[in-house]
């Protein structure tokens, strides 16, 4: 199973933003989605500040890997290096999501690791690394490269005291990685409030190996796209 293909890469970024919007991943207007353009060697990137739910094609710009705007009129986000430096070193990555989801921020602030004890947390059974440098915005290539080093070959990274970075082969898989990470963090905080995650569940083994395939992510992506489109049509 492969990710849905859109002829217009800017439209793919817009759709990814809208899905994040219905999942309440905004803060309220900060955060961005990028999509590698392998034909051009550049990056389509959501400009800001715009809420995920209100992003339109006019809010997407094309930049090179140094952040120079090539197409579009919106301002390039200051944190473009979060995207370009990851894409520079991770050839397997086609899309990067950066957002500020509340439960992920809260869990990272506790210093606890994320435990994979649910289907939604399955993609993170190998762990989620942490970036703990006391910086505000990741707005220089040097900081972006440092973030990329901490991310390594993982699916996602906690930017402690800031937000998260999630990656995928496509916008669809990167967005779903961000969505599932937030849900996994929320479940862990609920478990903590009820006494904590039982020790046997802290080591999932291969229990959730089925959740590591992109096809698993894409089934949920297609559902959220249907929800997004129903909202646009004014349907329940």
List residues with catalytic annotation: 79
What CA–CA distance (Å, rounded) separates 175 from 25? Answer: 10
- Are the beta carbons of 120 and 184 closer than 8 angstroms? yes
What CA–CA distance (Å, rounded) separates 138 from 14? Answer: 23
Which long-range contacts (C-beta less than 8 Å, at least 24 apart) are formed by 193-198? Answer: 197/115, 197/117
Integer CA distances (angstroms), 141 to 33, 86, 87, 175, in order: 18, 10, 12, 23
What CA–CA distance (Å, rounded) separates 118 from 116? Answer: 6
DSSP state of 75: P
User: E-assigned strands of 79-175?
Assistant: 95-99, 130-131, 156-159, 163-168
């Amino acid at each position: 199973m492969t990710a849905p293909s859109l002829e217009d890469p800017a439209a793919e970024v817009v759709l990814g933003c809208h899905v994040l919007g219905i999942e309440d991943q905004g803060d309220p207007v900060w955060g961005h989605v990028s999509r590698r353009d392998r034909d051009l060697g550049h990056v389509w990137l959501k400009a800001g500040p715009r809420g995920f739910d209100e992003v339109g094609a006019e809010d997407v710009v094309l930049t090179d890997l140094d952040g120079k705007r090539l197409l579009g009129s919106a301002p390039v986000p200051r944190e473009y290096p979060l995207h370009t430096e990851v894409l520079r070193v991770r050839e397997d990555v086609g899309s990067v999501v950066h957002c500020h989801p509340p439960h992920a921020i809260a869990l990272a602030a506790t210093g606890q690791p994320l435990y994979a004890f649910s289907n939604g947390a399955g993609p993170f059974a190998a762990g989620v690394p942490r970036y703990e440098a006391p910086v505000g915005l990741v707005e220089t290539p040097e900081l972006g490269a440092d973030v990329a080093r901490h991310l390594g070959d993982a699916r996602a990274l906690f930017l402690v005291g800031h937000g998260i970075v999630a990656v995928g082969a496509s916008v669809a898989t990167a967005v779903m990685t961000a969505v599932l990470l937030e849900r996994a963090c929320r479940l862990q905080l609920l478990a903590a409030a009820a006494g904590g995650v039982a020790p046997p569940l802290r080591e999932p083994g291969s229990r959730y190996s089925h959740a590591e395939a992109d096809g698993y992510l894409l089934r949920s992506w297609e559902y959220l796209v249907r929800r997004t489109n129903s909202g646009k049509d004014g349907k329940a």
